[in-house]
Amino acid sequence: MSASQKAIRTLIVAALAGAGALAPAGAERPELRFEPPPVPAALEVPAGHRAYLITRAYGTQNYVCLPGTSETGLVWSFLGPQATAFDPRADQVLTHFLSENPDEPGVARPTWQHSRDTSAVWAKPIAASTDPDFVAPGAVAWLLLEVVGAEPGPNGGEKLAPTRYLQRVDTLGGQAPASSCAVLGAKALVPYEADYVFYRAH
């Protein structure tokens, strides 16, 4: 995305947030409308799906120092994300982390849990891109993920239940440290930001 496109998008988000802040108490806030950002062809969501939620996540990509091969010695290995995500009105809507998928016993997957009804989805990456025309220098890859597990909240909440695919786009930071990994078990929490776009079937 070009600098001008990002500037326009920032202004739109700010206007939406301002509209919500200025609404009278008790009034319905305007419905959020948005177009998902352009992505490399490999990250396009299959036909028959539409974006229904976009969030901006702030947190860390976490790494742990583990043995590699005999040639590499100790290396930084991905441990999982830890982030909080907000909608364009700046309301917290999600937390993002790594956890075991109840539909795949013993398998940990990236997880998104709704902050209000605690419904959750688990997804697996099915495509990635580091195309420099899209991905900023030093940023983690953009991803297309497919949902492989879902759970309602304890009171039956299903806000995330419709999700079939997600995109991780507009990433900043988050890459493993460039410095060598010297202490077994050491951890590195690398700040990052990303947009997560949620898609449901039409």
Q: How many CA atoms lie within 13 A of 121 on its CB side?
A: 20
Q: What is the pLDDT of residue 30?
A: 43
- Among residues 60, 83, 44, the alpha carbon closest in space to that of 174 is found at 60
pLDDT in tens, 144-175: 999 999 999 988 999 999 999 999 999 999 99
Q: What is the mean pLDDT of each run of 10 residues along the chain (202 residues)?
A: 41 38 39 76 96 97 93 92 96 98 97 97 98 97 98 93 97 95 96 98 92
Three-state DSSP state, 65: strand
Task: Specify the pTM.
Answer: 0.82
Q: DSSP characters for 12-52?
A: HHHHHHHHHHHSPTTPPPPPP---PPP--GGGPPPTTEEEE
Q: What is the pLDDT of residue 156?
A: 92
What is the residue extent of each domain of the chain? 33-201
